[in-house]
């Protein structure tokens, strides 16, 4: 059974590795975003400001570098895959498969993530280290906690993406709602500006939303702003969100499956 999924993952890994020029440009794009953000922080800290909210420039530089690196690694193609497959009517062939639809797409995205690890994460970290010094974690423990927290983050992001994909089954004529979700996630996950700097009211609301647990939680653990005990608690919340989103997806999928419309089939 697992063999089937591994096959999908492997195929995606190999095809992603084949498109070298695309990867080259994608690394370049992310590098520009990284440089621009770091220089923005440098300007913000310019002229003698040492610490704001207990964070110094080095913390935010590390935060930014890691945030952009993670975003290049967290491949959540499921929303686009479903959207295009429904539009083109190809979704029907995926229904024929003897394994669950969403598990297929997860295996595919995991393959994308593995290839990104090799051809995007490594060059990005290399360039970032050349420009701004190696982005060290604040301690060995924070690095150890960072990795499982990243995996949980990916779980949340992927489930959100899958839920948006589910929407496409119902209202495909509204266009790809994934781009709307992505623009909300970018802001409220703290991937560009950490939520610690946001107004109090926004921070309070954000605690009850899944977004800040996708980027801010692992990154905060990495730079040591989130202590060990809080980190474990935060990972607990991440797990709760995964469970909740998973139940939502399973329930939604059950109702959706029966009323799928095959375009041009």
Partner 1 sequence: MQKMVSSIRHYVSVAACFARLAIQRQLEYPLFLFSWLLMIPIQYFSGIWMLKIIVDRFQPLNGWDFPELTFLYGLGLISHGIFVVFFINTWHIDNMVINGAFDRLLLRPMNVFFQLVASYVNFIGLIDCIPGIIIFIYGCQLAGFEWTAFNIVKLLLVLLGGVFIRAALFISLGTIAFWTKRNASMVSFALAMLERGTMYPLSIYPNVIQVLFTFLIPIGFISFYPAVEFLGKSSGGLQLPLSLALWTPAIGIVCFLLSQWVFRIGMKSYESAGS
Question: Distance (Å, rounded) from C-alpha 67 to C-alpha 58?
Answer: 14
Structural tokens at position 142:
């924070």
Q: Is 243 in the site for partner 1 (CB under 8 A)?
A: no
Q: By C-beta, is 49 or 250 nearer to partner 1? A: 49
Question: Least distance in Å: CB of 11 to partner 1?
Answer: 22
Q: Are 185 and 211 in contact, with CB atoms under 8 Å apart?
A: yes
Q: Are 160 and 210 in contact, with CB atoms under 8 Å apart?
A: yes
Question: Distance (Å, rounded) from C-alpha 143 to C-alpha 101?
Answer: 34
| Residues 196-235 as x/- pattern, contact with partner 1 by CB under 8 A | -xxx------------------------------------
Residue 179 vs residues 13, 80, 146, 155, 218: alpha-carbon distances, Å: 24, 9, 27, 19, 23
Q: By C-beta, is 114 or 193 nearer to partner 1? A: 193
Residue 47: its H or E element = none
Q: Is 184 in the site for partner 1 (CB under 8 A)?
A: yes
> Of residues 51-110, which lie at the interface with partner 1 (CB under 8 A)?
52-53
Question: Least distance in Å: CB of 97 to partner 1?
Answer: 28
Question: Least distance in Å: CB of 78 to partner 1?
Answer: 16
Q: Is 177 in the site for partner 1 (CB under 8 A)?
A: yes
Question: Which of 1, 2, 3, 46 touches partner 1 (CB under 8 A)?
Answer: 46
Q: By C-beta, is 176 or 225 nearer to partner 1? A: 176
Q: By C-beta, is 143 or 174 nearer to partner 1? A: 174
Question: Least distance in Å: CB of 34 to partner 1?
Answer: 10
> Of residues 1-40, which lie at the interface with partner 1 (CB under 8 A)?
21-22, 24-26, 28-29, 32-33, 35-36, 39-40
Q: Is 193 in the site for partner 1 (CB under 8 A)?
A: yes
- The three-class DSSP label of residue 262 is coil
Q: By C-beta, is 70 or 195 nearer to partner 1? A: 195
Question: Distance (Å, rounded) from C-alpha 39 to C-alpha 34?
Answer: 9
Question: Distance (Å, rounded) from C-alpha 50 to C-alpha 166?
Answer: 47
Question: Distance (Å, rounded) from C-alpha 155 to C-alpha 78?
Answer: 12
Structural tokens at position 248:
């939502």
Question: Distance (Å, rounded) from C-alpha 156 to C-alpha 238?
Answer: 7
For the chain, give me the number of helices (H) and strands (E)?
A: 12, 0
Q: By C-beta, is 113 or 167 nearer to partner 1? A: 167
Question: Least distance in Å: CB of 211 to partner 1?
Answer: 12
Q: Are 248 and 102 in contact, with CB atoms under 8 Å apart?
A: no
Question: Least distance in Å: CB of 162 to partner 1?
Answer: 17
Residues that bind partner 1 (CB under 8 A): 21-22, 24-26, 28-29, 32-33, 35-36, 39-40, 42-47, 49, 52-53, 173-177, 179-180, 182-184, 186-187, 192-193, 197-199
């Amino acid at each position: 059974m697992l063999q089937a999924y591994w096959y999908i993952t492997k195929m995606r890994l190999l095809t992603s590795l084949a498109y070298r020029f695309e990867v080259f440009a994608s690394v370049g794009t992310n590098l520009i975003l990284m440089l621009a953000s770091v220089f923005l922080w440098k300007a913000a800290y310019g002229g003698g400001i040492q610490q704001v909210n207990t964070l110094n420039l080095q913390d935010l530089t590390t935060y930014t570098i890691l945030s952009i690196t993670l975003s290049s690694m967290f491949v959540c193609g499921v929303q686009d895959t479903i959207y295009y497959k429904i539009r083109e009517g190809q979704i029907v062939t995926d229904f024929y498969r003897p394994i669950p639809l969403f598990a297929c797409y997860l295996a595919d995205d995991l393959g994308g993530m593995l290839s990104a690890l090799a051809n995007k994460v490594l060059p990005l970290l290399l360039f970032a280290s050349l420009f701004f010094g190696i982005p060290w974690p604040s301690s060995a423990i924070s690095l150890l906690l960072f990795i499982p927290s990243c995996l949980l983050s990916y779980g949340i992001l992927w489930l959100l993406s899958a839920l948006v994909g589910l929407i496409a089954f119902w209202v495909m004529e509204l266009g790809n709602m994934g781009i709307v979700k992505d623009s909300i996630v970018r802001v409220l996950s703290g991937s560009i500006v950490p939520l610690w700097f946001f107004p109090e009211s926004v921070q309070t609301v954000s605690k009850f939303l899944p977004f800040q647990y996708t980027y801010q939680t692992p990154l905060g653990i990495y730079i040591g702003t989130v202590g060990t005990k809080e980190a474990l608690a935060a990972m607990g919340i991440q797990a709760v969100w995964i469970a909740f989103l998973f139940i939502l997806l399973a329930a939604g999928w059950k109702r959706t499956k029966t009323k799928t419309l095959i375009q041009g089939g």
